[in-house]
Amino acid sequence: MTVFGMVSAVAGFIKVRYLIDKAMIDNMVFRAHYRITSAILFLSCIIITANNLIGDPIQCINDRGVPGHVINTYCWITYTFTLPHEQGKRIGTDVSHPGLGNDNQDKTYHSYYQWVPFVLFFQGCLFYIPHWIWKNWEQGKVRMITEGLRGLLISSKEEREHRQSRLVQYLIETMHLHNTYAFGYFLCEALNFINVLVNIFMTDKFLGGSFLSYGTDVISFSNRNQENRTDPMISVFPRVTKCTFHKFGPSGSIQKHDALCILALNILNEKIYIFIWFWFIMLAVLSGLAMVYSAAVILLPSTRETILKRRFRFGAPNAVDTIIRKTQVGDFLLLHLLGQNMNLLVFGEILEEFVRRLNFGSNSNLPSAPSTLEMSPIYPEIEKYGKETET
């Protein structure tokens, strides 16, 4: 039940949120970092620490010269080892288990298994940090200025036009003041890309240089003949290892006790890390493409034109040209985020009014634009509902 409760808490990262409840302030790739990836890593941490799934994480057998609980504790808190030269040999004829044999050769030491839950938890936190930075930088601007306009189409035409007019007035009076806002967004997007690369190389270092080629080795292994293949997961996450314990005998001489240790936990580790390898590679590619997309938005006005026409179906040529010429990157990013949070029809009407005021000026009878802190209270019923849901 405890494990179920912890898993339920992690599920909050990927729960469905409706626009009417909470505004979207980023894109799908950005959300894949702090929602899906953090949830995967936290869930993996919970699974690894749930001993009831596999029993004791380590069980060692020796010549009975050392009590079982002593040798288990010792080998867990120190290290175990395998012999790389004994990998790939036939089990039952050449070796008893993969990587085991005569100790008089090079050894590969394994001590990572105590730290796997802590590393997974730390990585989950790392993937959430860019979102935390952006959320504090953004300060709820999109949520406040789209209050009452998000999600479904508003039934009352007069009410919709009033809210749209206030929003357009805000956009007009804050023109060219959103570049710092945009800088924060693109900075956090770059942090996402850097973060996934750092995590890939950090995991490779943690696993002794085996992670970078781990996925490709597993794919190559699955394509080989059954008789001529060695599972690379066993060499990275061995199921049976050796451990050496020294103690003083009755006469005061030092006695050496060899033990064979079964690492049942590695059955879970190997599956978790092969999934993480494929997920990290895919996330790195998507994050790189997202950065190319953002660079195109910043540098190429034609990209912004395509977004307005294809993404938001705003096709009036003169109107699109006006927006591209008279707005800066920060203004366009804010428009892009507004479009993500609104019905296309509502957003199209806002863009039309925005273009009209850019061309002909604002109506002098309209009230001045409120600040972002004043946008939310003009819809008292919705603001009250929002506070109740947040509590």
CB 265 within 8 A of CB 48: yes
Across all residues in the chain, what is the average pLDDT? 80
Q: Which two tokens stand for residue 216?
A: 């490709």
**What does the pLDDT average to over 276-286?**
96
pTM (global) more than 0.85: no
Q: For position 281, what pLDDT does the model report?
A: 96
Q: Which of 164-168, 188-192, 236-240 has the lowest mean pLDDT?
A: 236-240
Give pLDDT tens digits for 328-358: 999 999 999 999 888 888 888 889 989 998 8
Give pLDDT tens digits for 56-76: 788 888 877 778 788 888 888
Across the strands, what pairs with 245?
Answer: 257
Q: Which of 101-110, 279-288, 313-322 has the lowest mean pLDDT?
A: 101-110
Say how far apart CA 350 and CA 165 lie, in whole Å.
8
Q: For position 379, what pLDDT does the model report?
A: 40
Kindly tell me the burial class for residue 305, based on how many C-beta atoms sit within 10 Å of its own C-beta (0-12, 13-18, 19 or more). Answer: middle
Helices (H), 32-83: 38-49, 68-77
* 240-248 vs 108-110, strand pairing mode: unpaired
CA dihedral 46, 281, 270, 198 (to 10 degrees): -70
Q: For position 182, what pLDDT does the model report?
A: 94
Confidence grade of residue 130 (pLDDT, cut at 50, 70, 90): very high
